[in-house]
Amino acid sequence: MMLNRKNKVVAYLLVLPAAAMLAVFVLYPMILNISLSFKDYSMLRTTTKTVGLKNYITLLTDSRVWQAVQRTFVWTFINVAGALLIGLGAALLLSNGFKGSNIIKSIVLIPWVLPSVITGYIWALMLQEDAGVITYILKSLHIVASDFSWFRTGPLSMASAIMANIWRAFPFFTLMIFAKINTIPSDQIEAATLEGANSWQLFRFVTFPFIRPTVYTCTYLCFIWSFNAFDILKVMTNGGPAEMTTTMSIMVQREAFQFFEISNASTMSVIMFVLMISVILLFTLLSKLVRRVRK
Amino acid sequence: MKKNKQLSALAVNSRRSSAGHRAALIVFAFFLFVLIIFPFYWIILSSFKNFLEIFEVPIRFLPKRLDFTNYVEVFTEYHIGTYLINSVVITISTVLITTTISTLASFSLTRLNFKGGRAFVKFLQMSQMFPVVVILVPLYLMCTRMGLVGTKSSLILPYVAVQIPVSIILLSTYFVDIPKEIEEAALIDGCSLFQMFSRIMLPLATSGIVAVSIYTFIQVWQEFLIASSFVRKSIHYTLTVGLSTFKGEFINWGGLMATSVIIAIPAMILFTMSQDFFINRLAGSVKE
């Protein structure tokens, strides 16, 4: 629409509240966060002084921080891979259009709508040592020993939280990929079927190339969500046992709101953000490179 | 029509496959169904169990009776009523503010071409992905300085800011859909900018505005990171934070699950009301 001078001002005024909110409550905190990471600031002390890179050096030489970084990557990788595989599988399954697929389609997003804290609690209950229904079934079938517990060791605790998180994340993949599969031109499928393509070939050469962009986008989103995930881990393991499931977001939150070590928390969150952006950039570069090599 | 044809092409493909293949499909589908539904069933079932029944072995898979004791107790013995009011006030305020601000902005961004609009949309798309953990600490310091700690504003303001980008992006998809001819006709008829917005654009975008509000509601209703970090006194807890009050020496699972049902119901009802939005719009607006 063409605007006269007065209306041009109105156009800016309409965007102003949104821009102001974002500037004050997103951009400014981000800058403040970086500046805090160069200071020695704790809520337990009254003095604040600039210390340069000291916080970064202290944290990056601390093995607990490195372990948290490692755990964050393990947690993120398994979550993304699991949600992608199950989500893609479910989408392909639904695309077969069998009886009852409509029912599943209408309920598939429900885990994604259930508040994540509740997801954490219900999985904690189902995996509970004595009376958790999943543990109980596994014990009755003698798949696990009778004194088995999910929450005694680090890897198993991590596995429990990952199960809950994948259960929450995979429906998003399913729905997005399924929506995309539905837009595959029918002549492509017919042509491939006529030429005698089997299901695998159909998937490999027709379906997958078509849905690839959606798969990439969902994977990217799921990576960001998992990397910063907090709710489920906090509720199910709270970083334990013995710090074995402490990821970076759990650590940042605890440094700030339990130990009041503001500078430590800020520095760690900056490190976290830089790592996240690096991974995204690395993958963007790699996928560009792959595309160029293919051509 | 076109969609049906495509679906049937896929269906033809599956019809040709063998009986074994079909049996496998049914088994997988059943497994998927159980995987999705079972945890929900377990929440509801457990909410009817008393403390002893939760730990009863062998486990019962069907309710013995519909015992609403837990639902009563969470209000009488715990303070779920207070948390419920806190959550409702905070969520509704956030939704109203976010939707108002975003509707104005997306009208301007999609309908009035102005300098810098494109750049702003780019900025929104980036900040949509922005993790809250990274601004958690400075936000808290800001709230302390502004004397907001312990007030509902300390949650509402960050929530609004975090929700605005997604809200604008989703709302824009509705405003873009309104044909240009309608807008031109209105201008020829002598509508002012304000009249065009209030009499023509708003009514046409209503379904979208409702759907996006519901999306915002569901997001804010379940927020945990900011709420559990900023809120210190238990009278200010929101529902998701209040769940932790069931953890004592032992966890009162029955009460916890009854409260979970109470928390889940509004989200589920709203979601069911706007399923079309979630399935079509959300899928469409996830950019590639």
Q: Choose, out of B57, B113, B134, B279, the residue to mutate when testing the contact with A (most A CBs < 10 Å).
A: B134
Q: List the single residue in B with minimal CA-CA distance to A128.
A: B55
CATH 1.10.3720.10: which residues of chain B?
76-285
Name which of A130, A216, A249 is nearest B55 (Cβ-Cβ). A130
pLDDT above 50: residue A243: yes
pLDDT above 60: residue B11: no
Q: Choose, out of B6, B47, B55, B133, the residue to mutate when testing the contact with A (most A CBs < 10 Å).
A: B133
Q: What pLDDT sits at residue B159?
A: 95
pLDDT per position as a tens digit, A211-227: 888 898 889 889 999 99
Q: Check CB contact under 8 Å for B6 and A273.
A: no
Average pLDDT value for chain A: 88
**Min CA distance, B46 vs chain A (Å)?**
9
Could you give the percent of chain A with pLDDT greater than 70?
A: 97
- B3 confidence band (pLDDT: 50, 70, 90): very low
Q: How large is the ipTM?
A: 0.89
Q: What pLDDT sits at residue B12?
A: 46
Look up the pTM and report it.
0.89
C-beta of residue B112 within 8 angstroms of C-beta of residue A1: yes
Q: Choose, out of B137, B253, B263, B265, the residue to mutate when testing the contact with A (most A CBs < 10 Å).
A: B137
pLDDT above 90: residue B284: no
Residue B245, token pair as written in the block: 């009050």
Region B250-279: what's the mean pLDDT? 87
pLDDT above 60: residue A266: yes
Name which of B11, B17, B275 is nearest A106 (Cβ-Cβ). B275
Q: Check CB contact under 8 Å for B108 and A11.
A: yes
pLDDT above 60: residue A18: yes
Q: What pLDDT sits at residue B258?
A: 93
**CATH number for domain B76-285, candidates 3.30.9.10, 1.10.10.10, 1.10.3720.10, 1.10.4190.10:** 1.10.3720.10
Q: List the single residue in A with minimal CA-CA distance to B116.
A: A12
Q: Check CB contact under 8 Å for B283 and A179.
A: yes
Query: Phi and psi dihedrals of A50, rounded to 5?
Result: -80, 130
- B8 confidence band (pLDDT: 50, 70, 90): very low
Q: Check CB contact under 8 Å for A183 and B6.
A: yes
Q: Which long-range contacts (CB under 8 A, 24 or more apart) does A271-279 make?
A: A271/A56, A271/A59, A271/A60, A271/A65, A271/A69, A272/A72, A272/A227, A272/A228, A272/A248, A272/B131, A272/B133, A272/B134, A273/B131, A273/B134, A275/A69, A275/A72, A275/A248, A276/A224, A276/A227, A276/A228, A276/B131, A279/A223, A279/A227
Q: Check CB contact under 8 Å for A17 and B168.
A: no
**Min CA distance, A172 vs chain B (Å)?**
9
pLDDT above 70: residue A55: yes
Residues 115-134 of A with CB under 8 A from B: 115-119, 121-123, 125-126, 130-131, 133
Three-state secondary-structure class, residue B172: helix
Q: Check CB contact under 8 Å for A117 and B224.
A: yes
Q: What is the phi-psi region of residue B22: left when phi exceeds 0, alpha when psi lies from -120 to 50, beta otherwise?
A: alpha
pLDDT above 60: residue B286: no
Q: List the single residue in B with minimal CA-CA distance to A95.
A: B10
Q: What pLDDT sits at residue A147?
A: 83
pLDDT above 70: residue B4: no
A106: which chain B residues are within 8 Å (Cβ-Cβ)? 275
Q: How far is CA B102 from the centre of its chain?
A: 16
**Min CA distance, B82 vs chain A (Å)?**
19
Q: What is the 3-state secondary structure (H, E, C) of chain A?
A: CCCCHHHHHHHHHHHHHHHHHHHHHHHHHHHHHHHHHCEECCCCCCCCEECCCHHHHHHHCCHHHHHHHHHHHHHHHHHHHHHHHHHHHHHHHHCCCCCCHHHHHHHCCHHHHCCHHHHHHHHHHHCCCCCCHHHHHHHHCCCCCCCCCCCCCHHHHHHHHHHHHHHHHHHHHHHHHHHHHCCCCHHHHHHHHHCCCCHHHHHHHHHHHHHHHHHHHHHHHHHHHHHCCCHHHHHHCCCCCCCCCCCHHHHHHHHHHCCCCHHHHHHHHHHHHHHHHHHHHHHHHHHHHHHHHHC
Q: What pLDDT sits at residue B185?
A: 85
**Tokens 């002549």 belong to which residue?**
A187
Average pLDDT value for chain B: 86
* Least confident window among A25-29, A290-294, B102-106, B262-266: A290-294
pLDDT per position as a tens digit, A170-212: 998 998 898 888 888 888 888 888 888 888 888 888 888 888 8
